[in-house]
């Protein structure tokens, strides 16, 4: 069967390849643009100088989800018109990805690790790669994928059965493929986007709730050789091992790395948010701080060595991953420029750290309803922890779904605002004792979603001062926002809702300026790019993920929301 | 879609299952009566809470999470029993028959088919407060006594076999009971038929490749590069090779047009430094694990040498 498909692909591929050559020849406008995903480590470091591309998962290494493109502005965004759409063909798992655009070609990954290269101007499909789904495959972490990395003429992604794969960016053919760890044994896989730092491709993994010891892996981008592995739980004899109280839980304690890190080239450090310890809710089995779970770790990308760490929530009992994005900003206060790291956590708090040394600067709440802790003091200490008791239901706000889901925030250097969404919700959490079984669910608690004490479950989209947390504006929503945010040099903020509306807001004041119904909820990452001087906005549409599949319990109407898996692309009408 | 699938499954499986249960299970009539026993349901609720109810799976009270809602859907007991026992292939639903007893599975069934509105979801730890909240302390490896009579530890051997923190762990190249990477022979059945001594020697000594499908090849590329490893598969235009130059192996897809020559190499790709990279106790543990798939016999250190 594969042979048939391969030869068919080769014929189609040849015809398409001719098309690619024509298109790319046309698209080459500068020496830097050599087509075929040939981003080097150097070009990626300078991604902000090539705003025509959306070169990395977050747009650039700083984690901003910002583009300086400004053809589409707050005063003309109402004229946006659809240019093309692309259907990936399978709706199970929805479309969670952020597309990458390099030199006029869009690289998109859909559920079951199907990868597409598209002409970013016309939507024409250049090639398709279909991953061979293992016959007996099963993972609680799903078949969806959040994105590829593109560089050195290769397209990199992790797979639902825990492989790393590199494709030839020219034709979508597999170049190398490495199994990271047997999915049947570890219960872990890869659905986060990798990112390229210099000559390495770096990727995290899931498994934080399945009795697994987490890690970050770096592969030599060209050869696929494992360059280093950073275990998020120190082994015997390593500093931090004592924070597991002498128990065996370091082997099963989670600390997954399921999203994507940021990179500061000036310091040559990558920053990665580490997931929750497990068992998630019963923390009595792992006495101690449980390093480096719920930490931001700063790692040398050349050798994987830890430079500093900061633990936001020691000895977690609420499943509050620190896995979310690290937003790197420089802020001048009192005449002094500080290199900061802004980090939203599932717990409803944002941590502000000095990214040169990991020192705590501030922690402020981005949701109103927080009951797991009373406050966080000036040193970052958690005051009044609402610790669980075995067998006794306890109302915890926000619940383990988070004050926000994993979909990412955005930062605009123009407004100086940090944009984020929030959910006001709680859950009755009942903790029970559980023994670990490697690779199997190790949660040790049940979560019964409840509204907050002061009203119904609700959500909001907000703009904040990233350091102080002062709210600049807020727009209420009925349902959680599950799409990542995008903010542009035209001061437009884009995101979408779970019913499929893709929306534009004035980044300065939150006024809604434009909306387009895509037909299925938005769960991926909208981006912007330009080809031949025309700015485009692309948004993945297609509801599906772990969060989404558990929505009908709380919102019964969600059971009727249609799935989907498509990219919609917009631009201003030409000649205007 | 889902419900049609379910109806079809139920329509096909139910008569067969009912037949199976009525013919060769004596206690089945008694069990089906128990499905409405409040105590049976309550026990099932507790089991459900700790085994099935997290949000990745069927949610609190079986009302849906990442996996489908189970209660108040008219699920047939026989179908539920079969699915819990054997798992559902192609989904994350595991087979529970090796983890809990048949009676416990029936208790789960009783809870699942009970009416969700009249049966509140359980409070899983409600009666657990009195028992220890700490997990039992880890069992320590048995201390080696008299070296020759020291006994291999199957569990420790398994951990070593699959230890992904070691680049040259066994599972990087061998499959055992369906887990691992199939570069060399599947060891689940093959190993059990060999003596402990043969297994020990085949781990520590360099060896010849017996089966041609595991032959070592060297692929010379037109670019001048070469890849040493084991062929996985090939099609009309490309060949997939496990590059074993360093472990874990990298599976490379090479277009045939880029290959100048493929040569066979006599030596196996298996590393030859296990005698120094593992202790004798660790090797004994690994051999014990390999022998475990068929026999339950103890493997002692002296068995490795005689």
pLDDT of the residue at B284: 93
DSSP letters spanning B261-290: EEEEESB-SS-S-HHHHS-HHHHHHHHHHH
Signed CA dihedral, A232, A235, A238, A242: sign only: positive
Contact of A441 with chain B, judged by CB distance below 8 Å, is answered with yes
**Whether the Cβ atoms of residue A314 and residue A292 lie closer than 8 Å to each other:** no
- 3-state DSSP call for residue B91? coil
**Whether the Cβ atoms of residue A563 and residue A542 lie closer than 8 Å to each other:** yes
Residue B104, class by beta-carbon neighbours within 10 Å (0-12 exposed, 13-18 middle, 19+ buried)?
middle
pLDDT of the residue at A133: 80
pLDDT of the residue at A406: 97
Q: How far is B168 from chain A (nearest CA, A)?
A: 12
- Measured CA distances, B72 to A145, A529, B114, B232, B260 (Å): 32, 49, 8, 48, 64
pLDDT of the residue at A35: 60
pLDDT at B111 over 80: yes
Closest residue in A to B173 (Cα–Cα): A179
Q: Do A137 and B128 touch (CB under 8 A)?
A: no
Residue A98: CA atoms inside 13 Å, Cβ hemisphere, count? Answer: 32
User: What does DSSP assign to residue B92?
Assistant: S
Query: Which chain B residues contact residue A430 at CB under 8 A?
Result: 49, 123-125
**Whether the Cβ atoms of residue A489 and residue A70 lie closer than 8 Å to each other:** yes
List per-residue pLDDT tens for chain A, 576 residues long. Answer: 333 343 444 444 444 444 444 433 333 334 344 567 889 999 999 999 999 999 999 999 999 999 999 999 999 999 999 999 999 999 989 999 999 999 999 999 999 999 999 999 999 999 999 998 877 777 778 889 999 999 999 999 999 999 999 999 999 999 999 999 998 889 899 999 999 999 999 999 999 988 999 999 999 999 999 999 999 999 999 999 999 999 999 999 999 999 999 999 999 999 999 999 999 999 999 999 999 999 999 999 999 999 999 999 999 999 999 999 999 999 998 899 999 999 999 999 999 999 999 999 999 999 999 999 999 999 999 999 999 888 899 999 999 999 999 999 999 999 999 999 999 999 999 998 888 988 888 988 888 999 999 999 999 999 999 999 999 999 999 999 999 999 999 999 999 999 999 999 999 999 999 999 999 999 999 999 999 999 999 999 999 878 888 888 899 999 899 999 999 999 999 875
Contact of B121 with chain A, judged by CB distance below 8 Å, is answered with yes
DSSP letters spanning A333-349: ETTEEEEEEEEE-TTSE
Q: List, in order, residues 6 or more apart from B26 with CB less than 8 Å away.
A: none
Contact of B93 with chain A, judged by CB distance below 8 Å, is answered with yes
Catalytic residue among A319, A321, A462, A491: A319
Q: How far apart are CA A179 and CA A190, in angstroms?
A: 11
Please, which residues bridge with residue A476 across strands?
Answer: A460
pLDDT at B129 over 60: no
pLDDT of the residue at B28: 52
DSSP letters spanning A109-163: EEGGGEEEEEETTT--EEEEE-----TT---TT-S-----EEETTEEEEE-TTSE
Dihedrals φ, ψ of A541, to 5°?
A: -125, 140
Q: How far is A230 from chain B (nearest CA, A)?
A: 10
- Measured CA distances, A109 to A93, A98, A129, A373 (Å): 12, 8, 9, 39
Nearest to B283 by CA among B256, B303, B306: B303
Closest residue in A to B92 (Cα–Cα): A138
pLDDT of the residue at A318: 96
- 3-state DSSP call for residue B28? helix
Contact of B177 with chain A, judged by CB distance below 8 Å, is answered with no
Q: What angle do CA B177, B180, B183 make, to 5 degrees?
A: 110
- Which A residues, 254 through 313, put their C-beta within 8 Å of a C-beta on chain B? 282, 284-285
Q: Which of B1, B5, B55 should we substitute to test contact with A (largest number of A Cβ atoms within 10 Å)?
A: B55
**Whether the Cβ atoms of residue A182 and residue A189 lie closer than 8 Å to each other:** no
Task: State which H helix or E strand residue A487 sits in.
Answer: strand A486-488
pLDDT of the residue at B189: 77
SS3 sequence of A500-562: CEEEEEECCCCCEEEEEECCCCCCCCCEEEEECCEEEEEEEECCCCHHHHCHHHHCHHHHHCC
pLDDT of the residue at A11: 44
Query: Which chain A residues contact residue B132 at CB under 8 A?
Result: 433
Q: Do B248 and A550 touch (CB under 8 A)?
A: no
Q: Do B164 and A142 touch (CB under 8 A)?
A: no
Q: How far apart are CA A279 and CA A234, in angstroms?
A: 17
Q: Which range has the worst mean pLDDT, A128-142, B127-141, B156-170?
A: B127-141
**Whether the Cβ atoms of residue A302 and residue A199 lie closer than 8 Å to each other:** no
Contact of B2 with chain A, judged by CB distance below 8 Å, is answered with no
Return the higher-pLDDT residue of A443 and B17.
A443
pLDDT band for position B303 (cuts 50, 70, 90): confident
Contact of A206 with chain B, judged by CB distance below 8 Å, is answered with no
Signed CA dihedral, A447, A449, A452, A453: sign only: negative
Q: List, in order, residues 6 or more apart from A511 with CB less than 8 Å away.
A: A505
Q: Which range has the worst mean pLDDT, B118-122, B131-135, B145-149, B278-282?
A: B131-135
Q: What angle do CA A452, A549, A203 make, to 5 degrees?
A: 100
Q: What angle do CA A521, A523, A524 make, to 5 degrees?
A: 130
pLDDT tens figures, B203-227: 988 777 778 889 999 999 999 999 9
Contact of B150 with chain A, judged by CB distance below 8 Å, is answered with no
Question: Is A319 labeled as catalytic in the residue annotation?
Answer: yes
Query: Which chain A residues contact residue B72 at CB under 8 A?
Result: none
* Dihedral angle computed from the Cα positions of residues A172, A175, A181 and A186, in that order, rounded to the nearest 10 degrees: 10
pLDDT of the residue at A397: 97
Closest residue in B to A210 (Cα–Cα): B56
Contact of A175 with chain B, judged by CB distance below 8 Å, is answered with yes
User: How many Cβ contacts (< 8 angstroms) between chains A and B?
Assistant: 159
- Measured CA distances, A186 to A205, A215, A443 (Å): 11, 12, 15
Q: List, in order, residues 6 or more apart from B71 with CB less than 8 Å away.
A: B61, B62, B63, B111, B112, B113, B114, B115, B116
Q: Do B64 and A550 touch (CB under 8 A)?
A: yes
Contact of A246 with chain B, judged by CB distance below 8 Å, is answered with no
Spell out where A47-113 has E strands. Answer: 66-67, 81-87, 100-102, 105-110
Q: List, in order, residues 6 or more apart from B3 with CB less than 8 Å away.
A: none
Please state the ipTM of this predicted complex: 0.82
Q: How far apart are CA A539 and CA A524, in angstroms?
A: 7
Contact of A440 with chain B, judged by CB distance below 8 Å, is answered with yes
Nearest to A400 by CA among A482, A515, A320, A295: A320
Q: Do B90 and A549 touch (CB under 8 A)?
A: no
Q: List, in order, residues 6 or more apart from B77 with CB less than 8 Å away.
A: B32, B35, B109, B113
Tell me how far the alpha carbon of residue A182 is from its chain's centroid.
24
Tell me how far the alpha carbon of residue A131 is from its chain's centroid.
21
Q: How far is A186 from chain B (nearest CA, A)?
A: 10
As a whole number, the mean pLDDT across chain B is 78
**Whether the Cβ atoms of residue A178 and residue B251 lie closer than 8 Å to each other:** yes
Closest residue in A to B128 (Cα–Cα): A391
Closest residue in A to B139 (Cα–Cα): A248
Q: How far apart are CA B244 and CA B248, in angstroms?
A: 7
Query: Which chain B residues contact residue A389 at CB under 8 A?
Result: 129
pLDDT tens figures, B84-106: 998 887 777 888 888 888 889 99
Contact of B229 with chain A, judged by CB distance below 8 Å, is answered with no
Nearest to B123 among A235, A391, A400 (CB): A391
Return the higher-pLDDT residue of A406 and B113.
A406
Q: How far is B298 from chain A (nearest CA, A)?
A: 24
**Whether the Cβ atoms of residue B183 and residue B249 lie closer than 8 Å to each other:** yes
Most confident of A488-497, B105-114, B116-125, B184-193: A488-497
User: What does DSSP assign to residue A237?
Assistant: T
Q: How far apart are CA A351 and CA A380, in angstroms?
A: 9
pLDDT of the residue at A340: 98
Q: Do A178 and B250 touch (CB under 8 A)?
A: yes
**Whether the Cβ atoms of residue A515 and residue A501 lie closer than 8 Å to each other:** yes
pLDDT band for position B56 (cuts 50, 70, 90): confident
Q: How far apart are CA A231 and CA A215, in angstroms?
A: 4
Q: Which of B47, B54, B165, B174 should we substitute to test contact with A (largest number of A Cβ atoms within 10 Å)?
A: B54
pLDDT of the residue at A18: 40
- Which B residues, 55 through 74, put their C-beta within 8 Å of a C-beta on chain A? 55-57, 59-61, 63-67, 69
pLDDT of the residue at A17: 43
- Measured CA distances, A387 to A322, A383, A402, A523 (Å): 18, 11, 17, 32
Q: Do B252 and A176 touch (CB under 8 A)?
A: yes
């Amino acid at each position: 069967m594969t042979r048939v498909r391969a030869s068919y692909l080769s014929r189609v591929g040849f015809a398409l390849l001719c098309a690619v050559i024509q298109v790319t020849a046309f698209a080459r406008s500068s020496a830097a643009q050599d087509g075929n995903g040939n981003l080097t480590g150097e070009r990626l470091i300078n991604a902000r100088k090539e705003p025509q591309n959306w070169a990395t998962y977050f747009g650039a290494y700083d984690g901003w989800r910002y583009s300086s493109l400004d053809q589409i502005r707050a005063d003309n965004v109402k004229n946006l018109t659809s240019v093309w759409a692309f259907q990936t063909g399978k709706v199970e798992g929805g479309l969670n990805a952020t597309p990458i655009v390099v030199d006029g070609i869009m690289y998109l990954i859909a559920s079951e690790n199907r990868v597409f290269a598209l002409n970013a101007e016309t939507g024409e499909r250049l090639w398709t790669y279909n991953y061979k789904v293992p016959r007996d495959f099963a993972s609680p972490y799903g078949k969806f994928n959040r994105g590829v990395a593109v560089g050195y003429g290769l397209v990199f992604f992790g797979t639902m059965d825990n492989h790393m794969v590199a494709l030839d960016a020219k034709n979508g053919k597999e170049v190398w493929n490495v199994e990271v760890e047997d999915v049947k044994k570890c219960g872990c896989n890869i659905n986060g986007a990798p990112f390229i730092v210099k000559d390495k491709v770096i990727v995290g993994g899931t498994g934080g709730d399945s009795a697994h010891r987490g890690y970050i892996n770096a592969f030599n981008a060209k050869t696929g050789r494992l360059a280093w592995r950073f275990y998020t739980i120190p082994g015997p004899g390593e500093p931090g091992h004592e924070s597991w109280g002498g128990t065996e839980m370091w082997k099963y304690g989670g600390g997954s790395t399921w999203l994507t890190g940021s990179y500061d080239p000036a310091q040559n450090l990558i920053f990665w948010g580490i997931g929750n310890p497990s068992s998630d809710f019963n923390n009595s089995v792992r006495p101690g701080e449980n390093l480096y779970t719920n930490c931001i770790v700063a790692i040398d990308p050349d050798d994987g060595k830890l430079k500093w760490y900061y633990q936001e929530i020691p000895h977690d009992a609420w499943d509050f991953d620190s896995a979310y994005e690290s937003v790197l900003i420089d802020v001048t206060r009192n005449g002094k420029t500080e290199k900061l790291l802004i980090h939203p956590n599932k717990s409803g708090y944002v941590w502000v750290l000095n990214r040169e040394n990991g020192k705590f600067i501030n922690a402020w709440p981005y949701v109103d309803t927080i009951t797991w802790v009373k406050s966080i003091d000036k040193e970052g200490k958690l005051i009044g922890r609402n610790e669980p008791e075995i067998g006794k239901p306890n109302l915890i706000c926000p619940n383990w779904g988070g004050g926000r889901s994993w979909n990412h925030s955005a930062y605009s250097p123009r407004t100086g605002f940090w944009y984020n969404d929030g959910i006001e919700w709680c859950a009755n959490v009942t903790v029970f004792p559980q023994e670990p079984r490697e690779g199997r669910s190790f949660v040790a608690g049940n979560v019964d979603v409840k509204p907050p004490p002061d009203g119904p479950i609700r959500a909001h989209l907000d703009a904040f001062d990233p350091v102080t947390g002062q709210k600049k504006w807020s727009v209420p929503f009925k349902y959680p926002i599950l799409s990542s945010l995008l903010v542009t040099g035209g001061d437009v903020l884009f995101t979408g809702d779970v019913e499929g509306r893709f929306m534009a807001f004035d980044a300065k004041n939150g006024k809604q300026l434009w909306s387009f119904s895509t037909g299925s909820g938005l769960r991926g990452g909208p981006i912007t790019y330009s080809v031949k001087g025309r700015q485009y906005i692309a948004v993945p549409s297609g509801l599906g993920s772990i969060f989404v599949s558990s929505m009908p319990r709380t919102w019964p109407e969600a059971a009727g929301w249609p799935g989907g898996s498509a990219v919609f692309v917009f631009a201003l009408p030409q000649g205007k | 879609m889902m419900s049609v699938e379910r109806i079809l499954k139920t329509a096909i499986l139910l008569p067969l299952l009912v037949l199976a249960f009525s013919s060769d299970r004596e206690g089945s009539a008694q069990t089906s009566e128990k499905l409405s026993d409040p105590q049976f349901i309550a026990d099932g609720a507790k089991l459900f809470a700790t085994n099935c109810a997290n949000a990745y799976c069927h949610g609190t009270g079986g009302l849906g999470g990442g996996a489908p809602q189970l209660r108040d859907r008219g699920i047939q007991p026989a179908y539920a029993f079969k699915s819990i026992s054997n798992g559902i292939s192609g989904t994350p639903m595991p087979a529970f028959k090796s983890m809990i007893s048949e009676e416990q599975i029936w208790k789960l069934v009783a809870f699942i088919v009970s009416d969700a509105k009249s049966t509140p979801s359980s409070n899983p730890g409600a009666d657990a407060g009195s028992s220890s909240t700490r997990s039992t302390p880890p069992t320590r490896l048995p201390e080696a006594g008299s070296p020759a009579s020291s006994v291999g530890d199957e569990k420790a051997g398994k951990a070593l076999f699959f230890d992904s923190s070691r680049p040259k762990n066994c599972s990087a190249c061998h499959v055992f009971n369906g887990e691992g990477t199939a570069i060399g022979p599947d060891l689940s059945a093959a190993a059990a038929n060999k003596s402990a001594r043969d297994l020990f020697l085949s781990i520590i000594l360099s060896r010849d490749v017996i089966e041609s499908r595991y032959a070592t090849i060297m692929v010379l590329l037109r670019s001048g590069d070469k890849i040493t490893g084991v062929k996985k598969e090939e099609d009309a235009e490309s060949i997939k090779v496990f590059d074993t130059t360093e472990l874990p192996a990298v599976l490379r897809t090479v277009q045939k047009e880029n290959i100048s020559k493929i040569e066979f190499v006599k030596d196996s790709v298996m590393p030859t430094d296990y005698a120094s990279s593992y202790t004798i106790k660790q090797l004994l543990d690994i051999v014990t694990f390999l022998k475990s798939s068929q026999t339950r016999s103890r493997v002692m250190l002296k068995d490795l040498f005689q």
